Amino acid sequence: MKRKALNWSLGVATPVLLVAAWWAASANSMNTFFPPLSAIMVRFRELWLFDHFGSDILLSLRNLLLGYAVATVAGVVIGFVTALVPVARWALDPVIHFLRGIPPVALVPIFISLIGFGIEMRVASIALAALFPTLIATVDGIRSVDTTLKDVSSVYRLSRGEKLAQVYLPAAGPQIASGMQVSLQVAFIVMIASEMLGSSEGIGAMTLLAQQSFMIPDMWAGILLLGVIGFGANLVFELLKNRILAWHAGSRRLANS
Amino acid sequence: MTATAPNSFRRAAGRHTVQEDPMTVRDAAAALPRLEVTALSKTYGSGGSAKCVIEDLTFTVNTGEVVCIVGPSGVGKTTLLKCLAGLQPVTSGAAAIDGRKIDGPPAEMALVFQDYNRSLMPWLTVRKNIRLPLRHLRLQAAELNQRIDTALEAVGLTHAANQYPWQLSGGMQQRVAIARALAYRPEILIMDEPFASVDAQTRFELEDLCLKIRDDFGMTILVVTHDIDEAVYLSDRVVVLGAKPARVLDVVDIDLPAPRDQISSRALKEFADQRTNVLSMIRKPA
């Protein structure tokens, strides 16, 4: 108990100390590229709370969520088909492994030329890039479902729908969740990149614009915001995962004790 | 663990079998082969690498009988059960229920697997595990719940209904697997070394539970075991398999009086004779 409290306070104290150190070290900074943290915070508040909140933050987040949602749904569905339909498996496996090798950000230029600079381009590139981690994890997860569980489902004559939804999906759940977490990170990266390359709105575009017009505190404020959003998104994901997959965490904890 | 469970099983089993004359059950059963295995063979692979696991196996199980299959380990007993449950195709010969050839999991059959810790869904509570196979039977809510409650009570796990399987001991997990089969109300129950990895006391409880459900629900039960004592204690007949490939060495009728009792039945001279008889067949070099 004491140990746990100590760990928690360490976890909170370290970032607080780092921020304090940054604040102190940069307080009288004359360096153009490293303005005082106080100046960055002023711009942070002016820009994001809440002047550009509706126009840029919400826009970025909407693209992120939309692209991510498409990616995870498509990833799980295509993953199921690839893992369970032999023909699809032979046809899709090599393609998937080739496509996953392409760095996600490299896809953005293609999308710019194909779809243009609009919202569709950004959502499509986020979705395509974020698809593969979830897809591959789903295929692996489904293929490693225990044969005994499959036999149990057959003996009790579960319908096809029941097998998919009540056995395969939960059994592969932990692996699918790991894939979805990587997909979330990829989606976030591509969201920023798509805005930096092809757009004049969104947090990524604002941040790059600030750098190009030499508004360095604004640039730092954008970077800070991206950090906060990335941290928050991951935190929300973890909380949901721990809730939905509580059985998995519980059984693992018990198996290891 | 439930300290009261073994007594309640035994009492209930005794009460039921006393009312019913065991001989009439057996006479009626003799006329009705429920499960027929005829010249069943199973070969894995083909050509030079073909491995014959089961060769020309023939035996029957009658309605309401408990039949045990014993044999040396690795003889292909699990393969046999998978063929009977329609999970694997046979190479030649056939298994049939009421004369109907088994070519997929039959509706009237349930199987209790050897690996209890892998046959339960870890993401479902005990109650939901038992409910899963019942969903497609489209039962009324009242009957559904009543079946689950009855099954939980039969295995003495009413108190654990809302726990997850991984929170339970091995013996309790196996009882959940049995409860799931009971709630499904199969006419034929097949069990693959169901009590192999539980402690001796729990094993006695589960053996008596097995006899009790045969009496209470009129089930036909086929058990694979490597424990000769268990086979003799449970069975109306014991099918003795020889290795390899698996073939029937003998089918031994066990005429121990009913109801069976863990203490008195095992003390009978007949019990020891049958045990010696079966064991010597298995130990004899082929």
The model's pLDDT over B191-222, given as tens digits with 9 standing for 90+, comes to 998 888 778 888 888 888 889 888 888 899 99
At residue B194, the pLDDT reads 86
Residues constituting chain A: 257
CB pairs under 8 A between A and B: 66
* Substitution target from A157, A164, A244 for chain B, most B beta carbons within 10 A: A157
Residue B31 binned pLDDT confidence (cut-offs 50, 70, 90): low
Q: Which domains does chain B have, with CATH numbers?
A: 5-108+186-283 (3.40.50.300)
Please state, in angstroms and rounded to a whole number, the distance separating the CA atoms of residues B87 and B79: 9
- Give the number of other Cβ atoms within 10 Å of residue B196's Cβ: 17
In angstroms, the CA B175 to CA B194 distance is 9
Which stretch of DSSP H or E encloses residue B33?
A: strand B33-44
Q: What is the pLDDT of residue A157?
A: 93
Q: Do the Cβ atoms of A250 and B113 come within 8 Å?
A: no
Tell whether the model's pLDDT for residue A178 goes beyond 90: yes
The number of distinct structural domains making up chain A is: 1
Distance CA A193, CA A126 (A): 9
State how far the Cα of A38 lies from the Cα of B39, in Å rounded to an integer: 87
Q: Which residues of A touch B123 (CB under 8 A)?
A: 170-171, 173, 247-248
Q: How confident is the model at residue B10 (pLDDT cuts 50, 70, 90)?
A: very low
The angle at the Cα of B209, spanning B18 to B27, to the nearest 5 degrees, equals 45
Helices in chain B by DSSP H: which ranges?
5-19, 22-30, 77-84, 116-119, 126-131, 141-154, 170-183, 200-217, 228-234, 264-267, 269-283
CB-based contact (8 Å) between B167 and chain A? yes
Q: A44: closest CA among A214, A206, A234?
A: A206
Nearest to A250 among B85, B132, B166 (CB): B166
Cα–Cα distance for residue pair A35/B75, rounded to 1 Å: 78
**Is the residue at A18 inside a domain?**
no
Range of the domain at A239: 56-251
Shortest CA gap A233–chain B (Å): 26
* Domain membership flag for residue A155: yes
Split at pLDDT 50, 70, 90, the class of B15 is very low
ipTM above 0.95, yes or no: no
Which has more pLDDT, A40 or A116? Answer: A40
Residue A204 lies in a domain: yes
More confident residue, A56 or B5: A56
pLDDT tens figures, A49-87:
877 777 788 888 999 999 999 999 999 999 999 999 988
CA distance A246 to chain B (A): 8
Do residues B235 and B66 touch, judged by C-beta distance below 8 A? yes
**Residue in chain A nearest B87 by alpha carbon:** A151
Amino acid residing at A232: G
Residue A183 pLDDT: 94
Distance between the two ends of chain B, CA-based, in angstroms? Answer: 43
